[in-house]
Amino acid sequence: MSEQPAPVQNPGLTAPAAPSPGPAASAPGPLPAGLAAALKRDPAGLVAAVVQQYDTNEVLMLGWMDDEALHRTMTTGRVTFYSRSRQEYWRKGDTSGHVQWVKSVALDCDGDALLVRVDQVGAACHTGTRTCFDGRELDISPVQAG
Amino acid sequence: MSEQPAPVQNPGLTAPAAPSPGPAASAPGPLPAGLAAALKRDPAGLVAAVVQQYDTNEVLMLGWMDDEALHRTMTTGRVTFYSRSRQEYWRKGDTSGHVQWVKSVALDCDGDALLVRVDQVGAACHTGTRTCFDGRELDISPVQAG
């Protein structure tokens, strides 16, 4: 049998065209198919994730998520990002203690941005400020009346 | 004089080495040098811009800005984005009337995200909803207590 000259007799059972993608044969990634199809990822496979304090509406920070980071955020109760600079997953609070507890996640109308509402423990910014934007205002020209 | 054989007598007045970049000869782009140096742009030259209603703290939408779009946003009182899909500048409200009046602009700690606080006229989303995230919540697993 090891020298069978006619592999065509067994099509589909040997040398599959694609490797098994994971636990669900119909889903090639960790996300539900509809969500995976709705995401408009950048060339690095990422979408922007705006993180907002759920009760005060403060914008705390902006991070980046690939499919796996979004999956972890949606299923574990803790926000996980993908670090563009370190090229690794990063679960907020693991080193600082400044955990982000997930309250809700929404995807915007064109699929390239997430709004993650959280309960932030302590400072969101690694510099120690509550948000990553605190005290970092730019000089702008006088604003016209709205 | 029109047949002078020695243009070297007039250096700097003819055929300048580089075209004039704008009003400030020391700044190659439209932004102040310090700000331009602080921006951490993606490979397409863009940073993410989170747009927030200034008085309610609602997150209205997320757009993208290159240096020129940020310059226009900082100097005209109106938010201007760079459209990744259409590859052109887009001043919010020009077609819809749903203008965003700029109240403040802040750059985050690592330079890749802007927080633009505005007074939004009408709906921020082109679909007609107040924000681009309204009614677009994803199903998440039950959240642990914060």
List, for residues A75-120, the tens digit of each pLDDT value. Answer: 999 999 999 989 999 999 999 999 999 999 999 999 999 999 999 9
Domain holding B97, by residue range, is 40-120
Q: Which of B146, B101, B92 is nearest to B124 (CA)?
A: B92
What pTM value is reported for the model?
Answer: 0.80
CB contact under 8 A, B59 and A57: yes
As a dihedral over the C-alpha atoms of residue A56, residue A73, residue A61, residue B44, rounded to 10 degrees, the angle is: -140
Tell me if B32 is assigned to some domain. no
> What is the predicted pLDDT for the residue at B142?
65
CATH of the domain at A62: 3.10.20.810
Query: Is residue A10 in some structural domain?
Result: no
Provide mean pLDDT across the span A59-70: 98
Residue B145 lies in a domain: no
Contact between residue B53 and residue B118 where contact means Cβ atoms under 8 Å apart? yes
Measured CA to CA, the distance from residue B39 to residue B45 in angstroms comes to 9
pLDDT at B27 over 50: no
* Dist. CA A138–CA B18, nearest whole Å: 29
Angle at B114 between CA B40 and CA B123, to 5 degrees: 140
Cβ burial of A48 (10 Å; 0-12, 13-18, 19+) is: buried
Within a domain: A61: yes
Q: What is the structure's pLDDT at A141? A: 86
Does any CB of chain A come closer than 8 Å to the CB of residue B48? yes
What local confidence, expressed as pLDDT, does residue B141 receive? 86
Q: What percentage of chain A carries pLDDT values higher than 70?
A: 77
Establish if A21 belongs to a structural domain: no
Residue pair B94/B143 in contact (Cβ under 8 Å)? The answer is: no
> Is it the case that residue B98 has pLDDT exceeding 80?
yes
Mean pLDDT of chain A: 85
A128 within a domain of the structure (yes/no): no
Which of residues 14 through 33 in chain B touch A, CB cutoff 8 A? Answer: 32
A115 part of a folded domain? yes
The answer as to whether B83 is a domain residue is: yes
Number of structural domains chain B divides into = 1
> Do the interacting molecules here have an ipTM over 0.95?
no
Q: Does B39 touch chain A (CB under 8 A)?
A: no
**Per-residue pLDDT at B9:** 40
